[in-house]
Amino acid sequence: MSTLSEVAARAGVTSATVSNVLRNRGRVGDETRQRVLDAVAALGYRPHLAARALAEGRAPTIALMVSSIANPFYPEFALAVERAARISGRFVIICNTNQDPLAGRAYLEQIAGTLSEGVLVMNANLDFDDLHQTEARGTPVVLCMWERPLDPPGLPCVAVDFRRAGELAARHLLELGHRQIVAIVGSKRAGIHAARYEGFVDALRAAGVKLPRTCVRHAPDTIEGGYAAARELLELHPATTAIFASNDLPALGSIHAAFDLRRDVPADLSVIGITDIQLARQSRPPLTTVQVPTVEAAEMAVSLLRELIERPPHTHQAARRGGRAAHEPPRVRVASEPTLIVRGSTSAPRRVRG
């Protein structure tokens, strides 16, 4: 592979001139420009983006903070982020916080602004103060899939209407005729699944169906967490005909619990989740769920972060002073609405069908 200086030597110019031509910067005469481009073509020179960035003291990467890449949703999201980032010539560094705000802080301190030009945060249980500090030091931060479009955080974000997702799940169960419903919420009461749960409960209430406290379990957002919660709920409320889980993993765990309790899904028990991870399609029976626009949200988040990284420096200063420059991009973008995906895990309850 030929080098910048070989190109410069052949074109009879300095390396700086070659660099200016390739980056459309500086003043270079037309004839010189053509000589450089001819030399580039003749030598098969490919400008080495990463090396160039490093020479400028900048690394063309973005950090993606996730709480655990072992949860299958995150790799799917990371894949979408990586594809979108590659288009803008950037690489993705995956930062697992393992749900630990201290681990998240360590990552932010170590790479934000140096190794990474910007930070995407995907449910990483980070301390908001840490994120604000990162932003204040001049490194853009974007929250991905913020759960409440109408209640934006003080940071740039891509919002998804998860309240609506919960509402769609409730309406589906109600339309099938379910009234004996229990719910598994994959986070703490005020946690990231609260909006989905609210949407679900409000839609039930609007239809005159109550969800007593004993019919709701907060559980870890995993297959195992959903499994244990579903077993408890089904023992406590044997007449249950449908389980709503605020995420696909606990919904899949609920299907496993039904299997072990010899309850047929969907004949004896309907199960619905939210997200539509790949496993939802692959389970037996395949999971009915409310699909959220994962890929779109990833693309929007990368695009917003890119705009924040590439905006002219004086707007950074304005932002740091607490002001907002005229051409600063909007800080909240809302992705498409969630949509119901009906698969094999839901049907009308027996007594209604029979």
Strands 242-245 and 91-96: unpaired
**Bond prior to 266 in cis (omega within 30° of 0):** yes
69 belongs to the binding site for a copy of itself (CB under 8 A): yes
* φ/ψ (deg, to 5) at 220: -60, 145
* Window of 3-11, 93-101, 288-296, 346-354 that interacts with a copy of itself by CB under 8 A: 93-101
Q: Output the smallest distance, CB 325 to a copy of itself, in A.
A: 26
Work out how close the CB of 129 gets to a copy of itself at its nearest, in angstroms, rounded to a whole number: 14
Q: Does 68 bind a copy of itself (CB under 8 A)?
A: yes
Residue 54 binds to a copy of itself (criterion: CB under 8 A): yes
**Exposed, middle or buried, 297 (CB in 10 Å: 0-12/13-18/19+)?**
buried
Asked if residue 59 binds a copy of itself (CB under 8 A), the reply is yes
279 interacts with a copy of itself by CB under 8 A? yes
Out of 129, 151, 224, 310, name the contact with a copy of itself by CB under 8 A: 224
Are 119 and 139 in contact by the 8 Å Cβ rule? The answer is yes
To the nearest 10°, the Cα dihedral for 321, 326, 331, 334? 170
Query: By CB under 8 A, is residue 82 in contact with a copy of itself?
Result: yes
Residue whose pair of structure tokens reads 């408890």 in the numeric block: 232
For a copy of itself, which stretch binds (CB under 8 A), given 162-170, 239-247, 252-260, 334-342?
252-260
DSSP 3-state of 254: helix
262 sits near a copy of itself (criterion: CB under 8 A): no
Cβ proximity to a copy of itself, 34 vs 282, nearer residue: 282
> In the stretch 181-220, what mask flags binding to a copy of itself with x, by CB under 8 A?
----------------------------------------
**Helix extents (H) in the chain:** 4-11, 15-23, 30-43, 49-55, 73-87, 101-111, 128-136, 162-176, 194-206, 223-236, 248-260, 278-282, 294-310, 313-320, 350-353
Q: Interface with a copy of itself includes 51 (CB under 8 A)?
A: yes
Candidates 39, 40, 92, 182: give the one binding a copy of itself (CB under 8 A).
92
**Pair of tokens at residue 269:** 């028990």
Please, are residues 185 and 219 in contact by the beta-carbon 8 Å criterion?
yes
Strand order in the sheet with 242-245: 216-218, 181-185, 242-245, 270-275, 288-291, 339-341
Q: Which stretch binds a copy of itself (CB under 8 A): 52-60, 120-128, 174-182, 187-195?
A: 52-60
CA torsion through residues 24, 28, 31, 35, sign: negative
Check binding of 34 to a copy of itself (CB under 8 A): no
Residues that bind a copy of itself (CB under 8 A): 1, 46, 48-51, 53-55, 57-61, 68-70, 72, 74-76, 78-79, 82, 91-96, 109-111, 114-115, 223-224, 252-253, 255-256, 259-260, 278-279, 282, 284
